[in-house]
Amino acid sequence: MRINLTKTSQIIFFILFLPVLSICFVLILNYLLQPFSKLWFYPFVDTFGIVGFYALLYSLFNSHVWSWSIFSFLGIVDFPFVGGRWKGHLISSFDNNKIPAILEIRQNFSQIDVYLYCKESHSYSLIAGFVKLSDNRMELHYEYHNEPYVNTKNTMHGHDGVVRLTYFKKDNVLKGSYYNSSQHDRGHVGNLEFIFESKQIQGKL
């Protein structure tokens, strides 16, 4: 989830289109500021204007505009938008019980952060990204750190693990599996399944 200069579509967009658009904005700004051409700041318009406009345009794209469908159609963005709150459950090999859980995802063009909330613990991603399968399905892979809440039973300890979730766009479902490290009483595998609930992030179960 970063600029990939091996992709022609991204080279055209980030190296050609955005700089040219920034220059156009600077030319318009120059025209509008002609009455102030004798003031001290006018020489800096050209010097910092292009860089400033490029930074502004990229910031807008990175935070909001990237999720518009036109950018997926043009091949500039090759991963889905899955940001928001997902409601579901996990089943651990520890006891095979179905545990209610909430998955929350904060996402922009350059970064994705994943948080999982259960009754006894919560976890957050250390690194995350998308992988495209041979059948064109998208998978969200992430490594996480889990921390139990203070009132959780003493048999549960903090641990690390990895998650692999397949995104089913038609049903708006994330479904997959996880594995955690064998430190203390960990070393279990399990399944997870979530359905999209809303774009609102609550930061809790």
Question: pLDDT, tens digit, for every residue of 9-53?
Answer: 999 999 999 999 999 998 898 888 888 777 766 677 777 788 999
DSSP type of residue 34: G
- Over residues 146-181, the pLDDT tens digits come to 998 887 666 677 889 999 999 999 999 999 999 987
CA–CA distances in Å: residue 37 to residues 19, 29, 88, 93: 24, 11, 61, 72
Q: What is the pLDDT of residue 155?
A: 61
CATH label, 84-198, candidates 2.40.128, 1.20.140, 3.10.20, 1.10.3470: 2.40.128
Q: Which of 118, 45, 120 is nearest to 87 (CA)?
A: 118
Q: How many CB atoms lie within 10 A of CB 128?
A: 19
Q: Find out whether 173 and 195 touch, Cβ atoms under 8 Å.
A: yes
- Over residues 139-152, the pLDDT tens digits come to 999 999 999 888 76
DSSP type of residue 108: -
Q: What is the pLDDT of residue 107?
A: 97
What DSSP element (H or E) covers 132?
strand 121-132
Q: Is 62 helix (H, G, I), strand (E, B) or coil?
A: helix
- Over residues 82-112, the pLDDT tens digits come to 999 999 999 988 778 899 999 999 999 999 9
Q: What is the pLDDT of residue 182?
A: 61
Q: Find out whether 44 and 26 touch, Cβ atoms under 8 Å.
A: no
